[in-house]
Amino acid sequence: DVGPDAGRLGGEIIFQGDPSSIEELTETPGAAISYTARYLSGRLTIPVPGTRRRWRDSIVIKGAREHNLKDVDVTFPLGVMTVVTGVSGSGKSTLVRDVLYRALNRKLGNPGDAPSYHRELSGDIARLSAVEFVDQNPIGKSTRSNPATYLKAFDEIRKLFASTQGAKQMGFTASDFSFNSDGGRCEACKGEGMITIEMQFMADITVPCEECHGKRYQKEILEIEYRGKNIYDILEMTINQAIEFFGETDGTQEKRIIKRLKPLQDVGLGYIKIGQNSSSLSGGENQRVKLASFFADESKQPTMYIFDEPTTGLHFNDIATLMKSFDRLISMGHTVLIIEHNMDVIKCADHVIDMGPEGGDAGGSLVIAGTPEEVASCPASYTGKYLKEKLSAGSDI
Ligand SMILES: Nc1ncnc2c1ncn2[C@@H]1O[C@H](COP(=O)(O)OP(=O)(O)O)[C@@H](O)[C@H]1O
Ligand SMILES: [Mg+2]
Ligand SMILES: [Zn+2]
């Protein structure tokens, strides 16, 4: 078990040995914290919600017949969390991505792929202003983008540096503190801090830039300090550290920075460095940066957010954080629609749409739709069988 936490707070071996003895860790006073042990022993759990949210409005798809879909009619509720379940190959992605998402996206006036075969899209479409398909693909295309630039937190940090006495004396503006445009950045590496050398018969290699020694900026820029830190020192801080550092004063510009960084902390990414390159993020991390950007946009009109297997690569403890993020999107007036196998997610749904019963040709039908309790009492549903155990195990919380 590697941990205890992520990023800077991880990297230690917490436990190695027989799985049956890991649970003892939670009982040993002073032992390192192991989330794995705590979830295994049941001391930490993802609770079953006490109540299911009620819904009235919905989007309806009728006569979907792409791939293995057997002319199905499905109702997708609005304003709640719906989980689409079913064995691999049962038709979940075809129904949700190829039919529902594409049809809705076109209907809302956006370009994009033509929807797969269905007879009708109807329901309370006017209640939605947008639909977003959230995948695990990398954020931003530039090799210089990072979570802080994606959430526009770095713009606010650059403004703060431009407002310092030192910057004013030298005539530096906010754009001189950018590593994305000419001005203050190191021109040898174009602000990347690294040089990529193309090798003819081998993989490219990267080496630190000799000009700036990996610090990404020209010497004059690095001499400008805000409370003892230069712009490179800030890029080296984790999100958590930066929130702490900028929170030590109560300036308005510092508050703006914190407001932009906070959503990243809320989705559990506080351990990432401000300057960490987007291309180094894992799929799950990319997905959560996107989630964070949805929170940052408070004026966003009601949106349907669709996730295809968002828990891929996540630990129980990450899943708990993810579930809180979904709840928050719903409390902001949005709709969350998830394709998922993970029972801890399914048991928290307000509504479950179970596809199947099998994969391939023997699938493509709607087995049952309803609350997790209703699905659990459906004998024809594989999901129901596992859900039954899960609900009886965790319902006392
Ligand atoms: N592009 C395609 N062409 C033909 N068949 C496909 C294509 N994509 C998926 N299928 C088939 O359709 C069925 C449903 O697939 P999919 O919707 O991806 O299932 P799920 O998301 O539930 O795992 C499977 O039998 C799959 O092999
Ligand atoms: Mg799929
Ligand atoms: Zn350089």
Range of the domain at 381: 58-138+281-394
Quote the ligand 3 centre to 182 CA distance (angstroms): 12
| Whether residue 155 sits in one domain with residue 237 | yes
Rg (CA), the chain: 24
Give a yes or no: residue 308 inside a domain: yes
Q: Measured between alpha carbons, how far is 90 from 358 in angstroms, rounded to an integer?
A: 6
| Whether residue 260 sits in one domain with residue 172 | yes
Identity of the amino acid at 13? I
Look at residues 196, 248, 191, 242 and name the one whose alpha carbon lies nearest to residue 216. Answer: 191
Phi, psi dihedral angles at 243 (to 5 degrees): -65, -40
* Residue 349: Cβ within 10 Å count: 26
Quote the ligand 3 centre to 197 CA distance (angstroms): 14
Let me know: does 366 contact 60? Beta carbons within 8 Å.
no
| Whether residue 347 sits in one domain with residue 231 | no
Per-residue pLDDT for the chain (397 aa), expressed as one digit of tens each? 998 887 778 889 998 999 888 877 766 777 777 888 888 888 888 889 989 999 999 999 999 999 999 999 999 999 999 999 999 999 999 999 999 999 999 999 999 999 999 999 999 999 999 999 998 888 876 767 899 999 999 999 999 999 999 999 999 999 999 999 899 999 999 999 999 888 888 888 889 999 999 999 999 999 999 999 999 999 999 999 999 999 999 999 999 999 999 999 999 899 999 999 888 888 888 888 999 999 888 888 999 999 988 998 888 888 888 999 999 999 999 999 999 999 999 999 999 999 999 999 999 999 999 999 999 999 999 999 999 988 986 544 3
Strand residue runs (E) in the chain: 2-3, 12-13, 58-64, 72-77, 81-85, 120-123, 130-134, 194-197, 205-208, 303-308, 335-339, 351-356, 365-370
- Helix (H) / strand (E) containing 211: none
Ligand nearest to the CA of 188: 3
Quote the ligand 2 centre to 46 CA distance (angstroms): 24
| Whether residue 63 sits in one domain with residue 155 | no
Residue 215 neighbours by CB under 8 Å, 6+ apart: 186, 193, 222, 232
Ligand nearest to the CA of 363: 1
Identity of the amino acid at 277? N
Cα separation of the two ends of the chain:
27
186 token code pair: 């190191």
- Helix (H) / strand (E) containing 107: helix 102-107
Which atom of ligand 1 has the smallest separation from the CA of 86? 22
Quote the ligand 1 centre to 234 CA distance (angstroms): 46
Quote the ligand 1 centre to 119 CA distance (angstroms): 19
The residue whose CA has the least distance to atom 1 of ligand 1 is 67
pLDDT per position as a tens digit, 289-343: 999 999 888 888 999 999 988 998 888 888 888 999 999 999 999 999 999 999 9
Among residues 278, 296, 312, the one where a domain terminates is 278
Instruction: Name all residues whose Cβ lies below 6 A of ligand 1.
Output: 67-68, 86, 88-94, 359-360
State how far the alpha carbon of 212 is from the alpha carbons of 190, 191, 222, 385, in Å.
Answer: 10, 9, 10, 60
DSSP for 286-307 reads HHHHHHHHHHH-TTPPPEEEEE
Q: In total, how many domains does the chain have?
A: 2
- Which long-range contacts does 149-153 make (Cβ < 8 Å, 24+ apart)? 149/180, 150/278, 150/289, 150/293, 151/260, 151/261, 151/263, 151/264, 151/289, 151/292, 151/293, 151/296, 152/260, 152/296, 153/257, 153/260, 153/261, 153/264, 153/274
Tally: H helices and E strands in the chain: 16, 13
Q: Measured between alpha carbons, how far is 276 from 141 in angstroms, rounded to an integer?
A: 14
CB crowding 243-261: b at 16 or more within 10 Å, else e: bebbeeeeeebbebbbebb
The SS3 call for residue 86 is coil
The residue whose CA has the least distance to atom 3 of ligand 1 is 67
| Whether residue 169 sits in one domain with residue 233 | yes
| Whether residue 308 sits in one domain with residue 237 | no
Give a yes or no: residue 1 inside a domain: no
Which atom of ligand 1 has the smallest separation from the CA of 96? 17
Let me know: does 160 contact 226? Beta carbons within 8 Å.
yes
- The pLDDT assigned to 141 comes to 66
| Whether residue 237 sits in one domain with residue 165 | yes
Among residues 232, 263, 278, the one where a domain terminates is 278
Give a yes or no: residue 42 inside a domain: no
Among residues 212, 247, 278, the one where a domain terminates is 278
| Whether residue 302 sits in one domain with residue 184 | no
| Sole residue written with tokens 């403004």 | 159
Q: CATH number of the domain that 104 lies in?
A: 3.40.50.300
336 token code pair: 């969350």
Q: Measured between alpha carbons, how far is 176 from 210 in angstroms, rounded to an integer?
A: 21
**How long, in residues, is the chain?**
397
Give a yes or no: residue 116 inside a domain: yes
Give a yes or no: residue 103 inside a domain: yes
Which atom of ligand 1 has the smallest separation from the CA of 90? 22
Give a yes or no: residue 4 inside a domain: no
Residue 126 neighbours by CB under 8 Å, 6+ apart: none
The residue whose CA has the least distance to atom 14 of ligand 1 is 91
Q: CATH number of the domain that 213 lies in?
A: 1.20.1580.10
| Whether residue 273 sits in one domain with residue 159 | yes
Q: Measured between alpha carbons, how far is 206 from 143 in angstroms, rounded to an integer?
A: 13
The residue whose CA has the least distance to atom 20 of ligand 1 is 89
Q: Measured between alpha carbons, how far is 250 from 117 in angstroms, rounded to an integer?
A: 56
- The pLDDT assigned to 397 comes to 37
Would you give the DSSP letter of residue 100? Answer: I
Identity of the amino acid at 349? A
Residue 228 neighbours by CB under 8 Å, 6+ apart: none
Give a yes or no: residue 359 inside a domain: yes
Give a yes or no: residue 32 inside a domain: no
pLDDT per position as a tens digit, 340-389: 999 999 999 999 999 999 999 999 999 999 999 999 999 999 999 999 98
